[in-house]
Homo-oligomer: A and B are copies of this chain.
Amino acid sequence: VSVAAALARIVGQEHVRTGSALRPFLHDATEARNLRGRADAAALPATPEEVAAIVSWCHDTGTAVVPRGGGTGYAGGCVPDGGVVIGLERLRRVRALDPLEWRMQAEAGVTTRDVQRLAGENGLFFPPNPGAAEQSQLGGNIATNAGGPRAFKYGVTGAWITGIEAVLAPGRIVSFGGPVRKDVAGYDLVHLLVGSEGTLGIVTAAWLRLIPPPAARYPIVALYPDAGSGCAAVAAAMASGTVPSLIEYLDGAAVEIARGSCPLDLPPGGPFMLLCEADGDEQEAERGRGLLLEALSDGALTVVAPPAGGADQLWRWRETVPTAVDAFLGGKVSEDIVVPIERLAEAIERTHEIGARHGIRACSWGHAGDGNLHSSFLFDRNQPDRARSAQAAAEELFSLALELGGSISGEHGLGLVKSGHLAGVWSPQVVEAQRAVRAAFDPDGLMNPGKKMP
């Protein structure tokens, strides 16, 4: 029996992809590295039982299994290296929506936007906003523990997950946690699966915790002459007495690239930009805005509180920054290193030093309050040697993150891109503990092989 025929028996012929129809399942949203995988076939199951049947067949035949959500990751976590891709887009039932109990149970293929929309329509709020909301899916957000700007105040995706249904090797459906808000009966396998990039199991559904939304959100934009003064302002914002819902930054080079489409009238010359937001009820958000306006003014070229209607426009622009940077020369390599907050300025500046050493244009932006940079090296994609230089520069970011006491991924995960870097990063004891966990869940090494820990 061919792989495709076996999959067709489980999900139906019309939900199996091979040949040219398989192509969209072989890469993720970032093609900068030309990460194009290979696979025997992709299957689009509609139920957890079908997922389990596929995983079971794969185990019986020694075939690798690679789960795929919206494909909007940046680390190649869904890029297969042989075997079967399981696309989860047809698992899109919202199984429970309990507004009075502040919770929802949704399947892995529900998009981030639909989760946010359903919460909102029911007077509630799902805080994580990792971006690419129309395309990214809940399962992928969980598999990568996706972050985003609001993680500063509200935490990453995992903070909002109380239960997970998943298919584990060799093809069994399990449920960890559930609708209850607290549970210490067992080991916390819910949060062990969160961020595990499909290497421990395939998330098929999750229980989400929701909260009432903040009534008001007020953005503040501030510009500084350089990263040093901008990062001093981040510290000032943190000492202001309020908890901003987000503290984002764009360094001068990123501002320069993206300023054409910015709804604000930015001066030329690439100032360093901070974007903050105060949220809460009307009074609290107003008070927060006042405190932040004052805190951010020290050393600033300008501090602006855009009018109420301007906020959405501003955040939409912020969401386009990665694309704008990507489009600038046609190619980029970007890493999402994270450092202790007091080392942020240094990490931003040294991203440029690394670029300069390789003769490559650099810029960064990211979640300043969380010390999470998207450090990027830009290249003309028609010049293979430039791409290699950008790649070499990016490799240096990993040692930079470690030297500064940080980590090589704040929110994108390791995927294929960073999977080789951990043995050098951690102590042998930590590597051993990580390996032992993987072996406990995937003794045959068929669950998204080559990802996370190699």
Contact = CB atoms under 8 A, between A and B. Distances in A.
Contacts of A414: 184-185
B405 A158 contact: no
A183 interface: yes
Interface in A184-208: 184-189, 191-192, 194-196, 200
A364 to B, nearest CB: 16
A183 B340 CA distance: 11
B189 A184 contact: no
Given A101-B340, A239-B100, A283-B287, A185 B438 contact: no
B195 A407 contact: no
A433 interface: yes
A256 B206 CA distance: 41
Contact of A212 (B211, B241, B410, B437): B241
A413 B186 CA distance: 8
A98 B151 CA distance: 20
Given A283-B284, A405-B180, A422 B187 contact: no
Contacts of A174: 427, 429-430, 433
B184 A410 contact: yes
A272 B191 CA distance: 36
A116 B177 CA distance: 29
Interface residues of A, number: 88
Interface string A395-411: 00000000001111111
A239 B184 CA distance: 27
A176 interface: yes
A158 B181 CA distance: 13
Contacts of A215: 241
A317 interface: no
A280 interface: yes
Given A101-B342, A182-B156, A440-B440, A195 B188 contact: yes
Contacts of A418: 185
B430 A436 contact: no
A212 B242 contact: yes
B238 A410 contact: no
Contacts of A412: 184
A188 B239 contact: no
A180 B371 contact: yes
A430 B185 CA distance: 12
Chain B CB within 10 Å, residue with most, of A168, A182, A215, A367: A182
Interface string A339-374: 111100000000000000000000000010111100
A3 interface: no
Contact of A183 (B239, B338, B430, B438): B338
A212 B212 CA distance: 21
A345 to B, nearest CB: 13
Nearest to A431: B186
Contacts of A195: 184, 187-188
A192 B181 contact: no
A179 interface: yes
Contacts of A132: none
A434 B280 contact: no
11 contacts: A101-B342, A158-B188, A174-B427, A180-B340, A182-B410, A183-B338, A184-B411, A187-B200, A188-B194, A242-B281, A433-B440
Given A100-B235, A187-B434, A283-B283, 12 more contacts: A168-B429, A175-B427, A178-B340, A178-B405, A182-B338, A184-B411, A186-B426, A186-B453, A187-B196, A187-B437, A436-B440, A437-B437
The 10 closest A-B pairs by CB, nearest first: A436-B440, A283-B283, A284-B284, A182-B410, A183-B407, A191-B191, A440-B440, A172-B429, A184-B195, A181-B370
